[in-house]
Structure 1
Amino acid sequence: MQSLMTQQQTNFLVATMSKYSSAVRNMEQTVMLPSLLQDIPQEVSGEAKDASSQSLYECYTLLKSIKNTVESGGGLPFEDLKRKINSAHELENEDESSLEQLFYIHVKGLCTVLNTLTKKANTLTSRYEDMIGVSS
């Protein structure tokens, strides 16, 4: 029973990663001139402005970079990746019983982040098409 749950969880994660990669691939194929995205704020008028708001170009490069990491299993050297993971969440002296729970929490978090990034890629693609006058 537990292996079936683990397989379903893995299939869900793979499907989420695949959806993200597909959305970014579509974005890359649509955005022929990424330089047009420079200095264009990510938020649409009416949305709350954030002090750390990125331009669409910065969002574009971030989405591509993460896609490369998702598809290759590591766009960063292993030590850099390990350091980023450890600095993001310090796990000290976790006992064996909580490891499974932590695994599911992190898979859920990863899927949530990938779904959010997928939406960003789709939004960026739509905004680019609007900018150049292409109707979908």
Structure 2
Amino acid sequence: MQPSDAKLYRNSLSRALRSYSAAVSDMERTILVPSLLRDVPSDELRDCEESRDLYESYQMLKAIRTSAESSLGSQVERKVQAGVSSLEPVLDAEGLFHFHLWGLFSVMRDLTVRTQNLTEKYKEIIGVAD
């Protein structure tokens, strides 16, 4: 991986984290009474065995943001600043790195969409239209 690639990934990951963080911040500003979300089923988890209401989703999305901001961002920064040469000796390791990085982007996009959907659902519950 070239240094320019590392910078691109760092910027893209930072952008994905900022986008998710902004969506959660918007959710928190919009949802003034989170308890209204209790017992409202979550559409995103219809395929899961676990039954989660929107309040639990709200709490989970906030916790993920806190965790991502405090640990994930700093871990990625440390790895990029240390240089990605530690990933270059084994081609398989580089491929694995790319695979997991794109997986992380996918998860961040999914969490951002879920956060935005929850915010919109809350607006529907309280009768606020855009």
Aligned to 1:26: 26
2:36 matches 1:36: yes
Equivalent position amino acid for 2:67 in 1? T
Task: Please list, as runs of the form range in 1=range in 2, the aligned pairs for 1:6-17 lying within 5 A after superposition.
Answer: 6-17=6-17
- Secondary structure of 1:122 counterpart: helix
- Secondary structure of 2:43 counterpart: coil
Structure with bigger helix share is: 2
TM-score, structure 2 length as denominator?
Answer: 0.80
Conserved in 2, the CA contact under 8 Å of 1:43 and 1:49?
no
Cα separation, 2, equivalents of 1:49 and 1:2: 40
Cα separation, 1, equivalents of 2:92 and 2:111: 28
Aligned length: 114
Aligned to 1:105: 99
TM-score, structure 1 length as denominator?
Answer: 0.77
Equivalent position amino acid for 1:53 in 2? S
Q: Percent identity, aligned pairs only?
A: 37
Gaps of 5+ in 1: 75-94
Equivalent position amino acid for 1:99 in 2? A
Task: Please list, as runs of the form range in 1=range in 2, the aligned pairs for 1:47-62 lying within 5 A after superposition.
Answer: 50-62=48-60
Moved over 6 A (4+): none
State the Cα RMSD in Å: 2.0
Gaps of 5+ in 2: 73-88
Equivalent position amino acid for 1:127 in 2? K
Aligned to 2:86: none
